[in-house]
A and B are shown apart, each in its own frame.
Chain A
């Protein structure tokens, strides 16, 4: 069964700190690895995504690190802010399907 394992389930970080969320996948046919951010009462929205031909992608304070051989990828949020408090989902996507991780609830303390 295709799975994406995400950890931790919840994370508390001080303002200005680094938040790190990890994911591991099984199916090597996946070719798109996005991270989605979800605020309460809203649908998930794309935050940042990477394809397996690169090992890192950075957009502002958000960075994806991708390790193809280990089948792992992670989200790093630098200088975390209270406004980053949300649920984060990793996903792996290939032909026609998205497989999501179970989510990480991030709380950034002011």
Chain B
């Protein structure tokens, strides 16, 4: 298994509160990604990073921000959580030499009440 951990694994929060999800990797891979998974939509890219302090938006980035200050950590922040952000969030990593293959973490289930 790729060395990817996500924390927390489960979180319940109230509408309007800030939430930060953490992805940590031990593989020293350059690329990191945040996806959300919702029934009927598969996995949709939120943001991704192609290096330390280098990030870009995915297809569903509204309401989310990210930061990457170290190779091993990629943080996803919901500045003011909304019920539509209730979802399962997955982090993924890929290597520069094989960017085509992405490996996923175990996921974080977030519920916004």
Q: Are both chains from one complex?
A: no
